[in-house]
Amino acid sequence: RNAEKEHPRTHEVFTHQYSLAHRFMPLVAVLVVALIVGSMAWVFTLARHGGGNPATSGTASSGVYVGTDGGIYHTDIQTGKILWQYLVPGTPSNGGKVPISALKLVVTHETVYAAVTVGHPTKAFLLALDAATGHVRWQHSFANGSSLTDMVMVSNLLYASVIPPHTGVMPTSNQLSDGVTYALQSTTGDISASYAVTGNIAIVNQVLYATGNGISAINLTTGRLLWHASVNGEHLQSPIVVNGTLYTSAWFSLDQNNPNRAGFVYAFDAQTGTKIWQSPRMNSSGKANLPTITNVTVTNAVLYVGFQNQLLAYDTQSGHLLWNQKVNGSIQQTPLVVEGVVYVAISAYGQTGEACAVAAFQAQNGRTLWTSQIDGGNVLTGPTFAQGMVYVANVTTYALKATNGANVWQATINNPYLSDPLMITAIA
């Protein structure tokens, strides 16, 4: 049964008066995401699909899930056949698309959770969809004008970071805000707790880390602020905690009259908030309207990050740059590392020599293994990985062999309201 829940103030506990400002996250159709492939996957990029043959999904959650600027769809992982579609309320019955400006997905064995910000003025809500059918299990709506910045799942709780309606837009790091991160029961959507911090979030060992106004750490049991660190960057990306160290990336405009941007990567002690190292400044190529730096990926003591047309690898202990590779385009999605290979989606913006592509690099030294050109559209979402395949999407979803980039299948959805992907994830 579909049940829509208005955000109940009476359910809030552990709300604290420490008000944190947070970074500006543009409400655009391309967001970058961290992503996990396994029994649970969470997506900050739009899913892709293909079509043709009968579905061969092994479990309720098996498949490729794509979040678009009009809704969500689920496809068979082996064939690309579309299994179900979900359109956001008001699309297309109001005579036009209700544009989703921010979207994140978390997929478990039986349920697809979506954090959605839609329309102007914005409306923000969480959805729980049946993974097998796409039917709504529950919906939790926040006040009109709210925006969702992030969502993660830990055990049976969903943590959703919300900017309140009176803020209007997501502030930069030097503006104050009383945004809140809510903990909701995953089975019902009921609020269990709230914490006075917002931004991109991560939860490790019962500590909530948020990259809003700088970086904050809050004890989830007591609600107590453990530490707060200022960061030189207007726009902080998602935090990731590995072996007691928090890593994140940030970018900022050099000044109002300069279209160039600069980026940094940071490492902090996750227990104390002490900065361990920061990378030298990365300078942009002057593409002022493009996202500048991606979320970071950390594996085997190496941090990988995309900065405009570069893929960079840093030693996690020292912050020393190990290698960097340039691409003919822009890396806007989080690099994906699987079995010693780094995969990136490359978007194109009409510059000479640029084209959408997927590229694979040797994780140890940055050597190019293969590049596969992708036709159609300027923005490429992904990549995600499952069953030896790499999946990406623009107006079409592509399944590529991870070993050589060969195109196994591709499919274009015929629904114009689901044609612009924002995020993607694949579950084997």
Alpha helix segments (H runs only) across 191-272: none
Which residue, 417, 324, 328, 341, is CA-closest to 383?
A: 341
Q: What is the pLDDT of residue 26?
A: 38
Which residue, 168, 174, 185, 239, is CA-closest to 210?
A: 239
Looking at the domain covering 4-427, what would its CATH class be? Answer: mainly beta
Domain residue spans of the chain:
4-427
Length of the chain: 428
Q: What is the pLDDT of residue 166?
A: 62
- Report the Cα–Cα distance between both ends of the chain, in Å, rounded: 28
Q: What is the pLDDT of residue 256?
A: 60
Averaged over successive runs of 10 residues, the pLDDT of the chain (428 residues) comes to 40 33 35 34 32 38 89 91 86 58 86 90 91 95 90 96 69 53 97 94 97 92 94 85 97 68 93 97 68 90 95 98 94 96 88 81 98 85 95 90 96 79 84
d(CA 251, CA 246): 17
Q: What is the pLDDT of residue 15?
A: 33
Q: What is the pLDDT of residue 39?
A: 35
Q: What is the pLDDT of residue 172?
A: 44
Which residue, 162, 161, 325, 335, is CA-closest to 247?
A: 335
d(CA 152, CA 160): 7
